[in-house]
Every structure is written in structure tokens, then in C-alpha cells.
Chains A and B, each alone.
Chain A
């Protein structure tokens, strides 16, 4: 492939894969069976120049696409300049032209593809990477710009990082056994725990002990938070995730352990909220990562036919939205549905509209830098009650 017999695009892809292999100390390459590309988010002219160098070739493996900088189903939402929108569209077109599927979601695992246990894949998008590794037991390193597409077009990736058994073992444990069972059933708990675990773990693989059960949505929330505050590409929840029936399956006998307290959860929440102005709330953001069908159902049930007074945005995949089929029930209450992108990476809300409220630790972590909006974190129920009341409405009982 390097020699160019498969075309200049594949040769370029191979130079990138082998270049990364050299930089990451990999001694060989391996075959991957799927790819997920996040380079379709417009990040400047260089990202478009790169994608256009690949056109003319076809992906070697089934490939999904992450969120873009546009909402093709609701184009009027996008506030960026016509020139930026034109380039964002050209970028999307370049990736679909090489055979990647126009999925435009950060959570392709919800209804589109379910990589199997042990399957070697090349996924980008930190929240999808950590879900695939941890919840599905598939194997991908933390890929991103350029290498995602290079792997898709060559079907190869460096044999390094989380592709390999020895790098998937736990290096630090987090003990939550002392926290109340009620608290540990709430999605918002998993978001704050994820922030703590990410900050404390850095690049290490964490194992959480003391949780009896967790939904996929909770694990999605946890992983997205841990991959935002830290470089976590894989975690174990002992007794819940597939590679960790017991702690001894994934960890040496001696493992540094951090005991998570209620005080640490409160501090994490205060740090997220620092700088946001609860008296100037302009909008509410749900669905980062993209909401699942069960999360959409939960919002609808919590709203209970009440209209919202604040601007409420729910981001989800077009695939999930079609399967759910009840979008009208939300929009008639004043809720705005966003697909193909996400409100923290794209110009949709006006930063002058005030602070925001979100049930996503990831949204709260990145929105101030990306779009100039500070956020208050709350559970989905707190976000919905705030939106209905038009002012901050907290539910302290949910945090004990």
C-alpha cells in the first residue's frame, strides 16, 4: 500500500498509519474491521485540505461518521458564517464520497453498529472510544483527527495502546461502596463520578468498585465525563463491564485506591458550576453524548406535557430520532431537537444569551472554551424543571 499500487490516497493513509506507529512505539500494524471518523467536524482549512486529498478512494472497512458542524435536518439552527458553512458541507461531502456512512453521531453504538467483544476497530471521538472499549469490550486506541480516516482507508492501525491486552488492565481503583444506593442509581451521579475519575486517572485505566448495576446510558455518561477531564480511553466497573467480573481479573493484587466521598462529588459539581450565573440562565442543553431512545422517553415523561420557558436543546442522532418517532411531542412543548451536530461544538446558541444548564459533564467542560457559554450542571430532572419554571430549580434530594 505504501508503494502506491492501491492509489495515492491509500499510500498517504499508510504513511500516516506507519508514522503514528513509529511515534507511538508500535512494532507492527494490525487489521481493523470498522472505523468511526470524527474529522468531519470543521476545524479549519487544514482539515478540509486533508479530506480532499483522500477523495477518489474508498474506505476499506465499514465506516461511520461523527458529528459535523451542520444540522442538515434543521439547517436554520446554524448561526456560523455562510463561508464556514460552505466549507463544513464540503468536508462532510468529502467523507461521504469515500464511502463513509452519513451517520453524523457521536454515539453510533446506540442503534447503528455494535462492535463485538474483542473486535479490533479504529474509532475516534473520545466518548465513543471509551464506550467501545469499556462497555462493549471492542478494542480501539484513542484515535482522532487524520488517523481515523487513514485507518478507514487502509484498514490498518498501529498495534499499540488499548488494542493490546497488557494496556487494558486497571492501574487505579475508585471505591464508591460507602455512597448511598439511591445516589448510585442516578445518571447525574455517574457524570460527576466520571469527572473525578478522569481528573485523578489522567492516562491510566481506572476500575470502579462498589457499583452493583448501571445502565448503558449511565456508562455512556460516565465515560464521556472521564474522557473529558482526563485522557481515559477505557474503564472497568467491576461486576458490570465485560472484562471485569472481579477486580482480580483486571488488576494486580496491589492497586492504588481512591475512596470517593460525597464531599468529592459536591466539590466536583461546584468546580463545574464556577463562573456560571444562575440568575442569567438562557438555555438548557441535553444530549451530549447524543441521547438514546430511553433518555428521550425520560425527558418526555418528566415534562408531562408542560411547555418550557427557556430555550431547550436536545441533541441526538438522526438514526435514534427516526426510530423513536415522537419528536413532535417534544417540539410542541417548545423543545428544539438538534441532529448531526451538538450544541457545544457548533454556533447555535448566542453566547450573549447568558449561562446554560446541562445534564452533561462533557458539555459543561467544553462549552466555555468552544462557544463562550458557561454552564451549571444538573440532573435531567433539574434541567427540565428549570426549563419549565424559567429559573434555576434544584432537587437537593437527588444528591444524597
Chain B
């Protein structure tokens, strides 16, 4: 897969493809990794361990620290693939990588988002990335 990494790291696993952007702040419970945003079509889905595929980030800048908290507690996705670059998502994963270097959650932008959104599993490998 053609990926440009915002936060480098290796991850591989089954995808969870979101139909709409998700704000981690108010949208995910860091204790369980469950989507708790009542307005989100995938309410109740669990992001933990999946390659989270979503078109973009959304919402409050406090989402950065909630993603970092998910990475700390181990409820975060294995990796995140976006349709467009998102500074808030990137920042949360970047700071978590500094704080908890053994629990990296790579973040990348897919050159062909529709391909990522159809994939049942994705391997994120910065050594094979184009960007």
C-alpha cells in the first residue's frame, strides 16, 4: 500500500474502516477502546489492535491527549491510515511515541484512500513507503 507516514512505525492487522471521521475526545473511551460517540455510525465498535482507516480527523484538539492516553493504556489502534493529513491525530501519536516508545501507533496518509477503505487487512511498513 502506498502510504506517506506522519508518524513512522510498523504495524499490521485487520482493518476497522470508519464511514465517518472520528474525534477521539468524546468519541472513544480510553479505558476500553470502544467508540462512544452516539452520533457515529460505528458506535460500539472497538478500535483496539485494528488498523483504523478513516477519511480524516475531526473535532477538538483535546483529541490528541485522548489518543495518547489510548496508546498508554493499550486500547489504541495498531495503526491509523487517513485519507488526508490530520495534525491532531498525528500529534497524539507523535507524543505517545516519545513517552511510550515501546507502544508506537504509526499514522499514515494513503495515496489511494478508496483502496485502503476496501482492504480487509493492511501492513504499515515505513521501509516500503513512498513518502
Contact = CB atoms under 8 A, between A and B. Distances in A.
Contacts of A15: 94, 98
Interface in B1-19: 6-7
A145 B90 contact: no
B78 interface: no
Interface string A143-164: 1111100000000000000000
B101 to A, nearest CB: 12
Contacts of B26: 366, 369-370
Contact of B87 (A20, A47, A366, A370): A20
A144 B95 contact: no
Interface string B62-100: 111110110110000000000001111011101110110
Interface in A103-134: 124, 126
Contacts of A47: 65, 68-69
A248 to B, nearest CB: 31
B85 A144 contact: no
A45 B69 contact: yes
A23 interface: yes
A24 B95 CA distance: 16
Interface string A8-19: 000010011001
B68 A12 contact: no
A130 to B, nearest CB: 13
A227 to B, nearest CB: 9
Contacts of A19: 6-7, 90-91, 94
A139 interface: no
A48 B91 CA distance: 16
B61 A143 contact: yes
Interface in B44-58: none
Interface string A319-352: 0000000000000000000000000000000000
Contacts of B96: 46
Interface in A160-175: none
B60 interface: yes
A45 B72 contact: yes
Given A43-B65, A144-B60, A22 B72 contact: no
Given A15-B98, A369-B26, A23 B86 contact: yes
A44 B91 contact: no
Contact of B65 (A12, A22, A39): A39
B33 interface: no
Nearest to A45: B72
B106 interface: no
Contacts of B94: 15-16, 19-20, 23, 146
Interface string B99-117: 1000000000000000000
B61 A22 contact: no
Contact of B85 (A12, A23, A45, A49): A23
A53 interface: yes
B64 to A, nearest CB: 4
Contacts of B85: 23-25
B8 to A, nearest CB: 10
Contacts of B95: 16, 46, 50, 145-146
A228 B22 CA distance: 16
A45 B85 CA distance: 26
B87 A23 contact: yes
A46 B91 contact: no
A46 B86 CA distance: 20
A45 B98 CA distance: 14
Interface in A1-56: 12, 15-16, 19-20, 22-25, 38-39, 41, 43-47, 49-50, 53
9 contacts: A16-B95, A23-B94, A24-B85, A44-B72, A46-B99, A50-B95, A126-B61, A147-B64, A231-B59
Interface of A: 12, 15-16, 19-20, 22-25, 38-39, 41, 43-47, 49-50, 53, 124, 126, 142-147, 231, 366, 369-370
Cβ-closest 8 pairs across A and B: A144-B61, A44-B69, A23-B90, A46-B68, A145-B64, A145-B65, A46-B69, A43-B65
Given A45-B69, A46-B72, 11 more contacts: A19-B94, A20-B91, A23-B85, A23-B86, A23-B94, A38-B61, A44-B30, A46-B71, A47-B69, A144-B88, A144-B91
